[in-house]
Homo-oligomer: A and B are copies of this chain.
């Protein structure tokens, strides 16, 4: 069961003019599953993306990078589940390119105008024939109103589809933002998440789309972790179809740019947090705030050390205020000159540790009360500067082991 997250109401997901989505059952790995999604993007749209930093990146990630760099204008995306096409070498690249060529023929565009995405099992050959055979059905299904279907079509171990919409006033016009994401395990994105897609009809200088994608990822998908395993396929794509009735945004820091970025960041954060809320086996949603660091990097380093500690995560699962485990993780986070006598620890409003030791007024029942909640904020003060950072994670349960011991069977 995801933590405080329910499936999106399709009626609450706004269509984005210029984007149509079709979903089909291609039988990539198993029959009777919506496992093939095609996103059609009107000519003139600006498209940017950020991808996994995993050096073992998947074939589709490599092809996406090439196609964005080719700069022909992206007109479609094709997404399959059931197979990640990662760890597949040169053959995997050829299979991804074949998929792009097949879709390009049907749409009468160049293969370089297509971004391919795959998610699922690693190191198995992509069944290109089945994907190609599924394309006509996916194209026939294309509609502006299929965001909810797409959110479902890209799921793997997710228990629930993830989609959010928002409208915002920009330069006197109403702009729509809609996004979807997927991912529940192998989640510690570095640049982007497993798969996240956002579209807006906003009009922005195409030169801004890439910095916008990076800025959005940094404030959302690059702040979540489930198991510390950075996927081979992480991809986050932002589409601006340029159909809205405002003047073109030429700077992300202009008043109009800021309004758009803020609204898009809000949707991106909801999408990223939704991945954690639906984290494999998650029973709790944990916000880790690190303050008083010398710089943002060391705050993030400490936050991730805490977020990845199996001992911390199992203590949250058990609602056991065994909070020394958090201090231990802070200590091994890798800050060479950290002075433990400067450390404070809060659990929501409860002041647990002061100057690196137990707070004399801390009572176990107060810690216990917070640990039982489904949403918990851990606040760590490093006492050595003014930087702060936040990451979001979940707990670590029996169910995580069950899911990952059984995933392929």
* Residues of A near any B CB (own CB < 8 A): 53-57, 84, 86-92, 121-125, 185-186, 188, 190, 227-232, 308-311, 314-315, 317-318, 320, 322-325, 327-333, 335-336, 338-341, 343, 353, 355-358, 396-398, 400-402, 404-409
Contacts and interface: CB of A to CB of B under 8 A. Distances in A.
A339 B62 CA distance: 13
A64 to B, nearest CB: 16
Contacts of A56: 327-328, 330-332, 338, 340, 343, 356
A355 B93 CA distance: 14
A340 B53 CA distance: 13
Given A87-B327, A122-B324, A338-B55, A404 B332 contact: no
Contacts of A405: 314-315, 317-318, 320
Given A327-B86, A355-B89, A408 B322 contact: yes
A397 B118 CA distance: 29
Contacts of A122: 322, 324-325, 327-328
Contacts of A338: 55-56
24 contacts: A54-B332, A55-B332, A56-B327, A57-B340, A84-B324, A87-B328, A90-B341, A92-B357, A121-B322, A123-B353, A123-B358, A125-B358, A186-B311, A190-B332, A228-B309, A229-B311, A232-B327, A310-B400, A314-B405, A318-B404, A318-B409, A396-B401, A398-B402, A400-B401
A96 B400 CA distance: 39
A335 B56 CA distance: 11
Nearest to A318: B405
Contact of A401 (B53, B331, B401, B409): B401
A30 to B, nearest CB: 16
B358 A328 contact: no
Contacts of A341: 89-90
